[in-house]
Amino acid sequence: MRSSDRSHPVRARTFSIPTRCGAVVVTDVGGSGFPLLLIHGSSYSARVFEKQFDSELARHWRLIAVDLPGHGRSEDAADPQSGYTVSGLADCLAEVLRRCRLSRVVVYGWSLGGHVAIELLARNAAIAGLVCGGAPPVQGGFLGMLKGFSPSFDLLLASKQTFTPRDAERFERLCFGRRSDGRFRDDILRSDGRMRAIFTQSMMRGDGTDQRRAIETAEVPVAFVNGADEPFVRLGYFDGLSVPMLHGGEPQLIEGAGHAPFWEQPEAFNAFVDRFMLSVMENEVRRKKRRVARA
C-alpha cells in the first residue's frame, strides 16, 4: 500500500533491537505505507539515507533503515567470525524483520548491503522486491568476484581492517565524491574494521548463496540502479545477466553519480525507487489473486 501524502514533515522513530549478533539500531518512519528496508554499505550507517528519509519516499512508503552490526549506533558483533559474514548479516536482518513483524518488504541494498540483500532474498519469503546498487550479483569465490568488480588498489580499502584518518578520507571520497565533504568520516572511523576483513574473506570463500543464481531465479521484481561513473563495479557485468523479473527490462544508470547515486543524485534515484515500489504493489496484487485462485 502507498500511503497518502503527509502534509507535515516525517518524523522517524529510532530504537534498538536485540539480536543474536548484538543490539542493532533501527530507524523507522512508521505509517501505513508498504515497507522499504534500506541497507547501507561497508563502514557507514543508516545516516547515508538522509536524502531518502527527507523526501517524498518517506511520505509515500514506510522507510526503515538499520545500522548493521559493527556500524553506527549498533553494537559490534558478539561473534565477529560468524556475525560479519554475508550469511551472518543476512541472519541478523531476518531477525529484525521478524521482531518488527514485517511479513512483506521491499529491500534496497547498497554496496555491501546489496550483497546482504541478495542473501536475504535467497533465504527469506518476506522479500517482495529487491533493488541493488554497487553490488554485482556474483557467483561465489575469487573468480566470481573478479568478473563483477574492477580490480584496483582503491578496492582493497574495502577489506582493510585498520583505517587511518587518511584511509577514511579516501574511502569516503571514493564512495561519495567530493560532495560529502567529510560528512560520514566519523561513521567510517567508528566502524569495526574486523567487519571489512571478515566480510571480504566471506565473499572470497563463496559463503552463502550463489548470488547470480538467486537473482536470475528470483520470483519477485528485481532492479539494478548504479551511477554511470561507478568506480568499483564492472557495469558491463549486468548486461550478461538473465533476470525474468528485471524492472524496466534493463539495468538503470544514473548520470552524474558514482558509487552512491542515492546521495549524489537523490531526485533521480528516489523517483526510480518510487516507480519500482508501485510495480511491486502491482505484482503483490497479482500474487494474491493467484493464491485465491488456487484456494
Residue-wise pLDDT tens digits, 96-126 = 999 999 999 999 999 999 999 999 999 999 9
Angle at 247 between CA 108 and CA 26, to 5 degrees: 15
Whether residue 7 has pLDDT greater than 60: no
Average pLDDT, the chain: 93
pLDDT digits (tens, 9 = 90+) for 137-190: 999 888 889 999 998 878 889 999 999 999 999 999 999 987 778 899 999 999
The confidence score (pLDDT) of residue 167 equals: 95
135 burial (CB, 10 Å; 0-12 / 13-18 / 19+) is buried
pLDDT bracket for residue 290 (50, 70, 90): confident
- Between CA 63 and CA 50 the distance in angstroms is 11
Mean pLDDT, residues 194-223:
95
pLDDT value at position 175? Answer: 95
Do the Cβ atoms of 263 and 179 come closer than 8 Å? yes
Cell reading at 13: 522513530
Residue type, 206: G
pLDDT at 293: 82
Residue of higher predicted confidence among 132 and 289: 132
Q: What pLDDT sits at residue 148?
A: 94
Grid-cell match 538503470, residue found: 252
Q: Which CATH architecture has domain 13-294?
A: 3-Layer(aba) Sandwich (3.40)
pLDDT for residue 85 is more than 80: yes
The ranges assigned to domains in the chain are: 13-294
Q: Minimum mean pLDDT among 19-33, 142-156, 212-226: which range? A: 142-156
Are 162 and 193 spatial neighbours (Cβ–Cβ below 8 Å)?
yes
**pTM of the predicted model as reported, rounded to 2 decimal places:** 0.95
Closest by Cα among 93, 124, 130 to 110: 130
Per DSSP, which regions of 150-194 are E strands?
none
Spell 47-86 as b/e; 16+ CB within 10 A means b.
bbbebbbebebbbbbbbbbbbbbbbbbbbbbeebeebbbb
Q: Is the pLDDT at 6 greater than 60, yes or no?
A: no
